[in-house]
Structure 1
Amino acid sequence: MTMNILSWNVNGLRARYNNGHLNWLQDENPDIFCLQEIKATEDQVKETLNGFDDYYSFYSSSTVTPGFSGVAIYSKIKPNKVVDSFGDGKYKEEGRILLAEFNDFILLNIYFPSGANSDKNIQAKMLHHKLMFYDRFLNLTESLSSSYEKVLICGDFNIAHKPLDLANPKKASKKPGFLQVERALIDRLIAQGYTDTFREFTQDPYHYTWWSNMYNLREKNIGMRLDHFFATCNLKDNIKSAYTRPEIMGSDHCPIGVEIQI
């Protein structure tokens, strides 16, 4: 069985639906799709969306800042279990995490903190929060990999890992999203036995998943690859393709996907 799994930071799920930006998703008909930054509660989503009745749906929304963050998983296969934290309730209130356990693998859908702000004092606090969030995430991924679980992780990581993952690495290296301390977090994940699925299929540059809305940067393809699918090595051979969908408009991010043989 080959499954098509998609991930997309929609930057407002209701807005994407109302503007017709989800029509392609209904046509694509993936087996599972994971969304970040839905910016809505489960009730608000269900009052708005139509056309996804074939899916089991799961949501985690922010209780700290309503209308901020939020993640969702839509799956044609019913998971055995879904939790909305790292397992200990930590960060549950931020609406950033959904962990779904299926028979053949564990799926993590995460919207990681950005760590960026125009105010330097606020940014320092946000970056600290991002690093602490990642530290808790990496504790979980290490535990899962050491238990030989098959794990697939997707979402908006808010980190570009390598210079070929963004248009202006020298300039970006001084800002959150490409700081060395952040890139080292992805190195830690890879050292635990996880692989960047997209880079298993291409080492070519100019593949980005996020573009600023300013200065027509998307049209010029001046962006960053901030959205990723990572898989444990024991699942790597099951990944038959990994891709980006920059032609899909609506959000400042584009969808990404993998085809996985189960």
Structure 2
Amino acid sequence: MKILSYNVNGIRAASTKNFVGWLQSTDADMICLQEVKALPSQIPEIIGLIENLGYHHYWFAAEKKGYSGVAIFSKIKPNHVEYGCGEEWIDKEGRILRADFDTFSLMSVYLPSGSSGDERQVKKYEFMAYFEKYITKLRETYPNLIISGDYNICHTAIDIHNPKSNANSSGFLPQEREWMGLFLEAGFIDTFRHLNKDPHHYTWWSYRAGSRGKNLGWRIDYHLATQPMLERIKDVKILSDAIHSDHCPILLELTS
């Protein structure tokens, strides 16, 4: 079973770069998207192409048009889909979507960025504190859980191209990194690091100064899985050749 996660930074923009054709070539069973920045009603042609590939699709948009929003596509119809998390401001920004299947639940999440200023950094910390409690409670009912998406956090120094110069940058702040460490210690697996300990693997690059061509990036996109899913982790990849966004897709392959 192949699961992809991809911050597309606008599905309409990504689709002008053959996103749907690329998706077909991956033969993915499920895909979590972040920053879709659109409602299904705004993209009927794209929806038609997605349905032609055999996907059931679920969207949770932000109230603000052209902003945020997450989606899940799946060739297996979920038993249940949960839109949002019950926290009003988070749900207004369209940041959490969950699909429940027979043997596990899959979430598409998009944590806020704090790079635009102190106010948004505070909201990011609020999200992190709420999310930790929310997931702790959720795991009591859904112990087999995969949380895929853009966390906007580099966990360790090997997850960022220049840890020294970015020591005070949002996304690599000590408090953010500590939160990620504690989240993992509470019972989650960073599936990529479980199978790959090497540096210089990134999932996001600035559009400035040719950063992508120089591989001056950040690894901020993750498939995190609860410990009961450990034995099902078969393969992980960062698909850096896919260029529809300033992010790239990440792949998690599970045994059936």
The reply on whether 1:33 has 2:31 as its aligned counterpart is yes
Output aligned runs, 1:46-195, within 5 Å.
46-53=44-51, 54-63=54-63, 65-87=64-86, 91-117=90-116, 123-147=117-141, 149-195=143-189
Q: Distance in 2 between matches of 1:10 and 1:230?
A: 19
CA distances 1:151-203 after superposition (whole Å, capped 9, x unpaired):
00100000000000010011111010100011111112112100100001111
Q: Distance in 2 between matches of 1:89 and 1:79?
A: 25
Q: Distance in 1 between matches of 2:87 and 2:215?
A: 40
Q: Using the aligned pairs only, state the percent identity.
A: 39
The reply on whether 1:45 has 2:43 as its aligned counterpart is yes
Q: What is the match of residue 217 of structure 2?
A: 223
Structure 1 runs not aligned, ≥5 long: 118-122
Q: Assess if the C-alpha contact under 8 Å between 1:39 and 1:61 holds in 2.
A: yes
Taking a change above 3 Å as real, the CA distance of residues 106 and 90 of structure 1, as seen in their structure-2 partners, is: farther
What SS class does the counterpart of residue 205 from structure 2 fall into?
Answer: coil
What SS class does the counterpart of residue 195 from structure 1 fall into?
Answer: strand
Task: Please point out which of 235, 256, 261 is paired with 2:250.
Answer: 256
Q: Assess if the C-alpha contact under 8 Å between 2:5 and 2:149 holds in 1.
A: yes
Q: Distance in 2 between matches of 1:115 and 1:12?
A: 19
Give 1:37's aligned amino acid.
E
CA distances 1:26-56 after superposition (whole Å, capped 9, x unpaired):
1212100111111101211334444221111
TM-score norm. by structure 2 comes to 0.95
CA distances 1:119-164 after superposition (whole Å, capped 9, x unpaired):
xxxx111011001111111112212335561000100000000000
CA deviation after TM superposition for structure 1 residue 249, in Å: 0.7
Q: Assess if the C-alpha contact under 8 Å between 1:141 and 1:189 holds in 2.
A: no
Taking a change above 3 Å as real, the CA distance of residues 12 and 227 of structure 1, as seen in their structure-2 partners, is: same
What SS class does the counterpart of residue 139 from structure 1 fall into?
Answer: helix
The reply on whether 1:242 has 2:241 as its aligned counterpart is no
Q: Assess if the C-alpha contact under 8 Å between 1:110 and 1:155 holds in 2.
A: yes
Aligned length in residues: 254
RMSD (CA atoms)? 1.4
TM-score norm. by structure 1 comes to 0.93
Q: Assess if the C-alpha contact under 8 Å between 1:145 and 1:192 holds in 2.
A: no
Q: What is the match of residue 10 of structure 1?
A: 8
Taking a change above 3 Å as real, the CA distance of residues 58 and 147 of structure 1, as seen in their structure-2 partners, is: closer
Q: Distance in 1 between matches of 2:207 and 2:87?
A: 37
What SS class does the counterpart of residue 52 from structure 1 fall into?
Answer: helix
Q: What is the match of residue 20 of structure 1?
A: 18
Q: What is the match of residue 192 of structure 2?
A: 198
Q: Assess if the C-alpha contact under 8 Å between 1:105 and 1:151 holds in 2.
A: yes
Give 1:152's aligned amino acid.
I
What SS class does the counterpart of residue 134 from structure 1 fall into?
Answer: helix
Taking a change above 3 Å as real, the CA distance of residues 148 and 86 of structure 1, as seen in their structure-2 partners, is: closer
Give 2:210's aligned amino acid.
N
Q: Distance in 1 between matches of 2:223 and 2:179?
A: 15
Q: Choose 81-90 or 12-21, whichever is displaced more.
A: 81-90
What SS class does the counterpart of residue 43 from structure 2 fall into?
Answer: helix
CA deviation after TM superposition for structure 1 residue 96, in Å: 1.1
